Amino acid sequence: MDFYLFSILFILFANIFNIILASQSKPYVAGIYFDRVITIVLGKSKYDNAIKDPYLSILASKGISLTNFHAVWHPSQPNYIAMICASKSGVLTDFSQNINGPSLPILLEEKGISWKAYLENYPGKGFAGGHSDDRLYYRKHNPFISINSIRNNKTLVSKIVNAEELTKDISEGNVPQYIFYTPNVNNDGHRTNLSYASNYLKTKLIPLIEPILINSKSLLIITFDESSSYLDLPNYNHIYTTLIGPNVLTSYKHHDDKKYSHYDILPTIQINWNLSELGTNNDKNRNPLSSSLFLMN
């Protein structure tokens, strides 16, 4: 073999090796309790109705049902903001609002933890309008686009994507460590009903993400944005929320009766990955999920 041919082959194999090495060395940050979080938010339903749904009841039996979990406001949008800001951030209606201040994605970015928001029927490309042309996607169910530091950053806003990308990301092994998934207003039950949303989970969404749950230390959170009743006193805004995953201690009676709300998922994620504090009064009022619910990595 002459020197020229040897050099060509050497460069070729070196490039192949570098490609393989790069594909195996994607940033990955292990957590204390879980290495991935998948949050699925369905449309409004009273807790009593949701827990009686056959499939949602089965899901609760596979993990831990947070039986005293509450949304933080009516209508929808403030609850979505609360999930990623641990605060309503002054948002009290479904009208589009732009928010300054810290949020979970920025904390994840600081630690190099990958994330994406997957939204069904989202037009993409940083779309900040109130709804898609087909009126199946609504901005009020997309808290990420309301955060100025995300919407005005080309890199960060590109992580708000149409939900069809999840299938591609799973098949290519590019699933981020934090997933926020919002079905469209038919599939989440807003425009249809609870049975429709439950069947969508059973036949479409859960089968899609099941390989992620089985093959990684993932935490799946299934919740609702708000209760369907504005008058459900004394259990105001009581909603179904279930935790499922290999590190969820199902021996913990399959339920936790401690009072939680949409504010409390974020501090749990902060503790898991040792994220920075938000730098607001919300840090002083943290009420993370009980550590006894999880097996440590």
Domain layout of the chain by residue ranges = 38-293
Domain 38-293 matching CATH 3.40.50.1860: the answer reads no
Burial of 17 (0-12, 13-18, 19+ CB in 10 A): exposed
pLDDT of residue 17: 39
User: How many helical (H) and strand (E) elements, i.e. helices and strands, does the chain have?
Assistant: 11, 10
Across the chain, mean pLDDT equals 89
pLDDT band of residue 21 (cuts 50, 70, 90) is very low
Query: At how many degrees (to 10) do helices 77-85 and 104-111 cross?
Result: 30
DSSP 257-271: -S-EEGGGHHHHHHH
pLDDT of residue 103: 95
pLDDT of residue 251: 66
Answer yes or no: is pLDDT of 93 > 90: yes
Answer yes or no: is pLDDT of 8 > 60: no
| Nearest-angstrom CA–CA distance, 245 and 134 | 34
pLDDT band of residue 285 (cuts 50, 70, 90) is low
Instruction: Convert the pLDDT of each residue in 99-126 to its tens digit.
Output: 998 999 999 999 999 999 999 999 999 9
pLDDT of residue 10: 46
Instruction: Convert the pLDDT of each residue in 237-266 to its tens digit.
Output: 999 999 999 999 876 678 999 999 999 999
pLDDT of residue 279: 75
Q: In this prediction, what percent of the chain has a pLDDT beyond 90?
A: 75
Q: According to DSSP H, which parts of 225-293 are helical?
A: 265-273
Cβ(249)–Cβ(64) below 8 Å: yes
| Nearest-angstrom CA–CA distance, 175 and 10 | 33
DSSP one-letter code for 131: B
pLDDT of residue 20: 39
Cβ(112)–Cβ(27) below 8 Å: yes
Instruction: Convert the pLDDT of each residue in 185-214 to its tens digit.
Output: 999 999 999 999 999 999 999 999 998 888
pTM of the model: 0.89
| Nearest-angstrom CA–CA distance, 247 and 37 | 12
pLDDT of residue 121: 99
